[in-house]
Amino acid sequence: MTKLGTHLIVDAWQAPSDLLNDPERIRHALLEGITAGEATLIDLCVHHFSPHGVTATATLAESHIAIHTWPEYGYFAADLFFCGQGDPEQALAILKIALQAQQVQVKIIERGFPNLLDHDPSLTTTICQSVA
């Protein structure tokens, strides 16, 4: 596989509801995470829902970070995709600390495309046909 990036899909539970409902806390955590992950911020959007919940997206030169909170359940979902330089795991470490999640599940997906020459020729044909 020719790796183009790393994508972390995160579910986190048992986080304090006041932290999950604080848009400024989440903004600050994202900015710190971006710095720790050595990424480059292009744009940051944070929205606070009524009566509770926050959605935030950071557009990065390396791709993006998105987080969605459900304070009433002590839960947040996040997605960190970094291609090229940067370390999404370092960015996630900051989010986990800032939002004090007690339980976290992370799925790591290596993003990219197969090296066609490394595969069975019949698979290569199938891949080429599905792309065309």
Catalytic residues: 63, 68, 83
Give kind and range of the element (H or E) at residue 69. Answer: strand 63-70
Does a cis peptide bond (omega within 30 degrees of 0) precede residue 51? yes
Backbone angles phi, psi at 62, to 5 degrees: -90, -10
Written as one letter, the residue type at 50 is S
Distance separating alpha carbons of residues 126 and 34, to the nearest angstrom: 39
